[in-house]
Amino acid sequence: MLFLNQTAIGKIDQGVIQKAVKKAYQLVLSQKYNMPDRMHVVDHDNTLLLMPCFSEKFFATKLVSVFPEARQHGQPAVNGVMVLSDNVSGQPLAIMDGAAITAQRTGAVGGLGVKLLTADSIQTAGIMGAGVQGLSQARYLLFNRNIKTLYIYDLSNKAAMGMINTLKKEFADLEYVAAKTPGQLVSNSKVIIAATTSKTPLFESSPDNILGKTFISIGSFRPDMQEFPHIVIESADDIFVDTMFAAKESGDIANPLKDNVIQKGEIKEFAGLLGKNEIFENRTIFFKSVGMALFDLTVASAVYQLAMEKKLGQKLDF
C-alpha cells in the first residue's frame, strides 16, 4: 500500500487534478459510476462525512471531519483520510491525506467553474475565506485566469494577510488587497468565490453590485449554511450545481428554493457545459458546489497513478 501525505499530493501538477475533476463530470454524463448517498453525521456545529464511490477500475472511500471552530485553535477546519482500492480484487492500494485531496479537488472544481463560466479577459477577483479551501481556490483561480487584482476577505485580517503573503511567493505579478468588508470585495471583483462555513450570508448588496458577475459558492454544505444573499441567485441569468444534491445539502440553494426565490427547474447541472462553447460574458452566473465522492475518486486515482510513476510517497506493509 502507498501512503501519500500532503507534501506528496502537493507535488502533483494542478493540470492533472483539474483534468481528473473534468473526468468526473464526464462520468456523470455517461453514468459509468456508482456513488451511494454520502453519510452526514452532525454533532453540534461539527460534521462527519463518509463518502464512498465506485468506477470500473477503482473504488474510494473518504472520511472527512469538518470542525469550523478548529481554526480558533490554530488547526485546520477540515481533516480526513482517503482510501483508494482496486475494484477488481478489492485490494487497498493507497491511503492519502483526505484534507489535501479535498483541498485540491475542491480547488479544481472552483477552477473549472472559473474556466467555463467567466470570460478570458477578467482581471479582478475576490475570495472570501482565507483558510485551506480559500487558498486552494486562489491557486486554481490563478491557474485558469490572468488576474491583475485579487481581493481577499476573512473575519481574521491576520488570516487574510497570511494567505496574501503565501500567494505572493507563488504568484508575484499581481496586486493583492485585504478587503476590509465583503462588500468592498464584491464591488471590486468580476468573479467572487466564497469558501466559508458561514451560517448567514456574508454580505448585503444591491443588484448593481451583482449584475454581470460570476459567483461561486464552495463552502456551504449544510442546510443551515449560506454564503451568498438571496439577491445573488435571484439576479442570476444561469444557476449551476455540481450535483443536484446541492438542492438539499446547501442553504445557498435550499433556502432560495424554500422561500420561492427560485424554482428547481431553473437549476442546471454543471456537467452539461462540457463540450459546449457557451460564452457567459456580461451575464450573472451562480455556481454552487457541495462536492461529491466521484471527484475524490477520479482525483485520488489520478494522484495514485502519477505517484507510482514518479515514485512519490511511502510504501507500507498492510
Quote the pLDDT of residue 75.
Answer: 87
Query: Average of pLDDT values for 296-316?
Result: 96
Q: pLDDT for 170-203, tens place per residue? A: 999 999 999 999 999 999 999 999 999 999 999 9
Say what angle helices 14-30 and 98-117 make with each other, to 10 degrees. 80
List residues bridging with 151 in a β-sheet: 126, 177
Report the relative pairing of strands 149-153 and 175-178 from DSSP bridges.
Answer: parallel
Say what angle helices 98-117 and 132-144 make with each other, to 10 degrees. 40
Q: pLDDT for 138-165, tens place per residue? A: 999 999 999 999 999 999 999 999 999 9
Model confidence at 280: pLDDT above 90: no
Domain 2-102+294-315 has CATH 3.40.50.150: no
Residue range 112-291, CATH number: 3.40.50.720
Model confidence at 318: pLDDT above 80: no
**Angle CA 115–189–212, to nearest 5:** 70
In the chain, what are the domain boundaries? Answer: 2-102+294-315, 112-291
Query: Which set of grid coordinates corresponds to residue 33?
Result: 459510476
Quote the pLDDT of residue 277.
Answer: 77
Query: Average of pLDDT values for 292-304?
Result: 96
- What's this model's pTM, rounded to 2 decimal places? 0.92
Q: pLDDT for 78-91, tens place per residue? A: 889 999 999 999 99
Nearest-CA neighbor of 21 among 317, 225, 307, 293?
A: 293
Query: Average of pLDDT values for 9-18?
Result: 96
Question: Which phi and psi (to 5°) does residue 78 adopt?
Answer: -115, 130
Query: How does DSSP classify residue 223?
Result: T
Model confidence at 273: pLDDT above 80: yes
Cα separation, 269 vs 246, whole angstroms: 10
Could you tell me what percent of the chain has a pLDDT over 70?
A: 100
